[in-house]
């Protein structure tokens, strides 16, 4: 052991240029470090301090103190919200809306991409794509206002149905709790389906066109090509997107809940995020609300990791 | 994508597929465009007349009175200005800050690249949530200030990853030769990297801009001052206030009280407001559209 020490010390003496080389290396990368540090400081402040702030979930936090000077209360707040029936109502709504998103909204962009890809006219294809992306760029507030009025009791759809004679009295779309989830899902679909298809268009563009040539020579029709080339070609993307959506199972869309929901439909539209805001910013129960948020994000992370683990195991595609 | 099936005679299967695809395309077009078109014709119609008789394809008694009502509402005009200001500032600061960080992270000379990337990636999967964020803003003095619209959106990790995917494709030789010519790092970034990266910068600029323009949430929960309210938050309050019961009452009073049967209603003014708020996005959209398709696809293929 002792013998090895002097040897190590000798190395820099022998090659005198090493410190200079090191200095040159430091100097060479200094501009890049200076470029990256502001971003890292930003993340430390705006992302990591709130993560550290999660400790207040285990405390009785009051505004006048800092994060760490509060009485520790263990899992009190977690036990409290798990006993609250409003939490479970919000939890059930969140999960149900997510399941609708995963099994009803999720396949639509895939279907859309496959269909639009088959349009024979390039011009029509471009027009459809351009138009279908647009609602994504509209504010949810605007989309909600538009659909709330179109589906209101004296709005476009009701008037049309009355004129055609399909109904005698206007349908109460937005004040009927039983219709809320279906309607919210449709509005969400209208806003996002076109844009979500863009990733599948990208995947289709990446498919080797020789595969289609070969298939045609083998006598494959358009449906066969779609089934055996296009669909398998985008399957990896589909699986990755599905994995990503699993992580969102316990996250709701606050836009839907706040902008489309109202006091009539609360039993169906109230979600965990809304509950967190009401508890935290509404009634100032900061520690209680932080506990709810933490519960939610921990479940999300576990879900993402599980989904990725299984997909790695069986399909050889992973996120990390 | 040209597959050349038009050169060959169309089989009956081809015809079926083409027909179905066109039908679906037309359906998508109508479903997407009609509600927006309806918004336009309603905004240009006389409110009372539109309420008396349902409009479908054309405006009734074309008028600008709804827009006049919007312009005369000082709260709405002020909120429009706030929206414009926060959007322009957020785009300029957000895009440059994000691109700057992304460029640094793609350089191979940078020691600790892996650690920096992990620090950034982690925040995509886990966060502190709304309450600790609110408390942080409170301590930083961001609550009830204009800065809350700008500072927290300086860096988006997702946009940064899109940028990085794009920067990696820029040939290293360009940077090397500029260095030999004695150009400094910042000069290289501004003179070589930025001009080559227009598609991705326009894309993230659009994302940041649309995000800022459409964001109702920040002002609704972190700002009280009426003078700082952006248009989307004002709209959100308008919409929540006008719930079903109120609308029914209003319908009854307008049809009874208005003898001359014309003039804007709250619905027609709302449509005009919606149109005013979509308008800037509509103006920018066609110009940026060609970029974002390219930009997003690069990111999608890399991711």
What is the ipTM, given to two decimal places?
Answer: 0.86
CB pairs under 8 A between A and B: 285
What pLDDT does B253 receive? 52
Rounded CA gap, A143 and A151, in Å? Answer: 12
| Whole-Å CA distances, A123 to A126, A128, B28 | 5, 9, 15
Judge whether B179 lies within some domain. Answer: yes
State pLDDT tens for residues A209-244.
899 999 988 888 888 999 999 999 898 888 888 877
What pLDDT does B93 receive? 97
Number of Cβ atoms within 10 Å of the Cβ of A12 = 12
Is residue A313 predicted with pLDDT exceeding 80?
no
Q: Give chain A's mean pLDDT.
A: 87
Are A298 and A68 in contact by the 8 Å Cβ rule? The answer is no
Is residue A61 predicted with pLDDT exceeding 70?
yes
State pLDDT tens for residues A278-288.
999 988 899 99
Judge whether B189 lies within some domain. Answer: yes
Backbone angles phi, psi at B142, to 5 degrees: -85, -20
Is residue A5 predicted with pLDDT exceeding 60?
no
Rounded CA gap, B65 and A163, in Å? Answer: 28
Backbone angles phi, psi at A173, to 5 degrees: -75, -50
Task: Tell me the percentage of chain A whose pLDDT exceeds 90.
Answer: 56
What pLDDT does B11 receive? 84
DSSP A230: I
Band of the pLDDT at A188, cuts 50, 70, 90? very high
Q: What is the mean pLDDT of residues A36-42?
A: 95
What pLDDT does A19 receive? 74
Band of the pLDDT at A4, cuts 50, 70, 90? very low
State pLDDT tens for residues A239-260.
888 877 888 899 999 999 999 9
Class of the CATH-defined domain A76-139+183-315 = mainly alpha
Among the listed residues B166, B190, B172, B209, the one whose alpha carbon sits nearest the alpha carbon of residue B296: B166
Tell me whether residues B216 and A140 touch, CB distance under 8 A. yes
Judge whether B212 lies within some domain. Answer: yes
Pick among B132, B153, B275 to test the A interface (most A CBs inside 10 A): B132
pTM given for the model: 0.86
Tell me whether residues A304 and B296 touch, CB distance under 8 A. no
Q: Which residue of A has its CA nearest to B43?
A: A146
If one compares B6 and A79, the residue with the highest pLDDT of the two is: A79
For residue B206, the enclosing domain spans 74-236+280-302
Judge whether B27 lies within some domain. Answer: no
CA distance B126 to chain A (A): 7
Task: Spell out the residues 6+ positions from residue A156 whose beta carbon is closer than 8 angstroms to its own.
Answer: A149, A150, B38, B54, B56
The residue with tokens 């699993």 is A246
Instruction: At A134, list the tokens.
Output: 């647009």
The number of angstroms, rounded, from the C-alpha of B293 to the middle of its chain's C-alpha atoms is 15
What pLDDT does B190 receive? 86
DSSP A74: T
What pLDDT does B61 receive? 87
DSSP readout, A262-311?
Answer: -GGGHHHH--HHHHHHIIIIIT--HHHHHHHHHHHHHHHHHHHHHHHHHH
Judge whether B32 lies within some domain. Answer: no
What pLDDT does A315 receive? 59
How many structural domains are present in chain B?
A: 1
Q: Strands, E, within B73-169: which ranges?
A: none
Collapsed DSSP state (helix, strand, coil) of residue A197: coil
Task: Spell out the residues 6+ positions from residue A8 whose beta carbon is closer than 8 angstroms to its own.
Answer: none
What pLDDT does A202 receive? 85
CA distance A39 to chain B (A): 6
Q: Which residue ranges of chain B lie beneath pLDDT 70?
A: 1-8, 241-261, 295-303
Instruction: At A148, list the tokens.
Output: 């709330």
Judge whether B213 lies within some domain. Answer: yes
State pLDDT tens for residues B155-195.
999 999 989 988 988 888 888 888 888 888 888 888 889 99
Rounded CA gap, B126 and A16, in Å? Answer: 47
| Whole-Å CA distances, A214 to A226, A228, B4, B94, B131 | 14, 12, 13, 47, 58
Tell me whether residues B35 and A147 touch, CB distance under 8 A. yes
Of B1, B11, B35, the CB nearest to A209: B1
Rounded CA gap, B138 and B85, in Å? Answer: 23
Are B201 and B194 in contact by the 8 Å Cβ rule? The answer is yes
What pLDDT does B101 receive? 94
Among the listed residues B212, B36, B8, the one whose alpha carbon sits nearest the alpha carbon of residue A143: B36
State pLDDT tens for residues A67-76.
667 888 889 9
Q: Which residue of B has its CA nearest to A64?
A: B139
CA distance A3 to chain B (A): 32
Per-domain boundaries in chain A: 4-58, 76-139+183-315
The CATH number of the domain where B125 resides is what? 1.10.3720.10
Q: Is A178 exposed, middle or buried (0-12, 13-18, 19+ CB in 10 A)?
A: exposed
What pLDDT does B245 receive? 47
Of A53, A127, A301, the CB nearest to B125: A301
CA distance B133 to chain A (A): 5
Tell me whether residues B274 and A28 touch, CB distance under 8 A. no
Judge whether B79 lies within some domain. Answer: yes
State pLDDT tens for residues A93-123.
999 999 999 999 999 999 999 999 999 999 9
CA distance B204 to chain A (A): 13
Of B24, B131, B277, the CB nearest to A142: B277
The residue with tokens 């793609």 is B106
Tell me whether residues B131 and A290 touch, CB distance under 8 A. yes
The number of angstroms, rounded, from the C-alpha of B279 to the middle of its chain's C-alpha atoms is 11
Contacts of B235 in chain A (CB under 8 A): 139, 141-142, 145
DSSP B10: P
Judge whether B110 lies within some domain. Answer: yes
Q: Which residue of B has its CA nearest to A31?
A: B185
Is residue A307 predicted with pLDDT exceeding 80?
yes
């Amino acid at each position: 052991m002792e013998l090895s020490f002097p040897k190590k010390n000798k190395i820099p003496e022998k090659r005198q240029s090493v410190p200079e080389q090191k200095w040159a290396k430091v100097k060479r990368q200094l501009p890049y470090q200076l470029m990256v540090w502001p971003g890292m400081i930003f993340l430390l402040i705006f992302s990591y301090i709130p993560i550290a702030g999660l400790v207040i979930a285990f405390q009785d936090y009051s505004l006048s103190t800092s994060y760490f000077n509060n009485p520790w209360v263990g899992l009190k707040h977690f036990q409290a919200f798990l006993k609250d029936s409003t939490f479970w109502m919000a939890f059930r709504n969140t999960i149900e809306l997510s399941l609708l998103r995963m099994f009803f909204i999720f396949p639509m962009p895939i279907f859309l991409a496959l269909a639009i890809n088959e349009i024979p006219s390039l011009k029509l294809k471009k027009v459809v794509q351009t138009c279908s992306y647009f609602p994504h760029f509209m504010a949810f507030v605007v989309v909600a206002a538009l659909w709330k009025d179109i589906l209101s009791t004296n709005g476009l759809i009701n008037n049309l149905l009355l004129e055609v004679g399909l109904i005698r009295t206007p349908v109460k779309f937005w004040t009927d709790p039983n219709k809320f989830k279906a309607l919210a899902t449709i509005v969400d679909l209208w806003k996002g389906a076109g844009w979500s298809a863009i990733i599948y268009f990208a995947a289709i563009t990446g498919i080797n066109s020789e595969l289609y040539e070969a298939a045609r020579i083998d006598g494959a029709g358009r449906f066969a090509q779609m089934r055996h080339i296009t669909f398998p070609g985008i399957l990896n993307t589909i699986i990755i997107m599905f994995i990503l959506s699993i992580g969102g199972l316990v996250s709701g869309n606050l836009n839907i809940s706040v902008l489309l929901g109202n006091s009539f439909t609360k039993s169906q539209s109230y979600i965990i995020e809304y509950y967190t805001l009401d508890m935290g910013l509404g009634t100032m129960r900061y520690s209680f609300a932080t506990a709810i948020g933490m519960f939610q994000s921990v479940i999300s992370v576990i879900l993402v990791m599980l989904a990725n683990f299984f997909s790695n195991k069986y399909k050889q595609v992973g996120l990390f | 994508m040209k597959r050349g099936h038009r050169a060959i005679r169309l089989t009956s299967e081809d015809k079926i597929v083409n027909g179905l695809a066109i039908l679906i395309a037309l359906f998508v077009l109508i479903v997407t465009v009609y509600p927006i078109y309806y918004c336009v014709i309603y905004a240009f119609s006389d409110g009372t007349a539109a309420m008396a008789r349902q409009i479908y394809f054309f405006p009734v008694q074309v008028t600008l009175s709804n827009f006049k009502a919007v312009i005369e509402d000082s709260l709405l005009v002020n909120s429009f200005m706030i929206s414009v200001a926060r959007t322009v500032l957020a785009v300029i600061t957000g895009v440059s800050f994000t691109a700057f960080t992304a460029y640094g992270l793609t350089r191979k000379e940078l020691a600790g690249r892996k650690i920096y990337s992990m620090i950034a990636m982690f925040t995509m999967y886990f966060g502190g949530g709304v309450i600790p964020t609110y408390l942080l803003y409170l301590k930083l003095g961001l609550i009830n200030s204009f800065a809350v619209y700008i500072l927290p959106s300086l860096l988006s990790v997702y946009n940064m990853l899109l940028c990085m995917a794009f920067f990696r494709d820029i040939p290293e030789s360009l940077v090397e030769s500029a260095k030999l010519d004695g150009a400094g790092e910042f000069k290289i970034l501004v003179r070589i990297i930025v001009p080559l990266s227009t598609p991705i910068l326009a894309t993230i600029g659009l994302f940041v801009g649309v995000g800022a323009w459409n964001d109702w949430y920040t002002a609704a929960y972190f700002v009280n001052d009426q003078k700082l309210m952006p248009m989307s938050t004002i709209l959100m309050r308008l919409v929540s206030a006008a719930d079903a019961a109120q609308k029914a009452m209003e319908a009854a009073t307008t049809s009874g009280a208005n003898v001359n049967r014309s003039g804007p209603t709250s619905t027609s003014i709302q449509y005009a407001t919606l149109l005013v708020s979509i308008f800037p996005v509509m103006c920018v959209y066609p110009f940026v559209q060609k970029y974002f398709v390219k930009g997003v696809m690069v990111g999608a293929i890399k991711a």
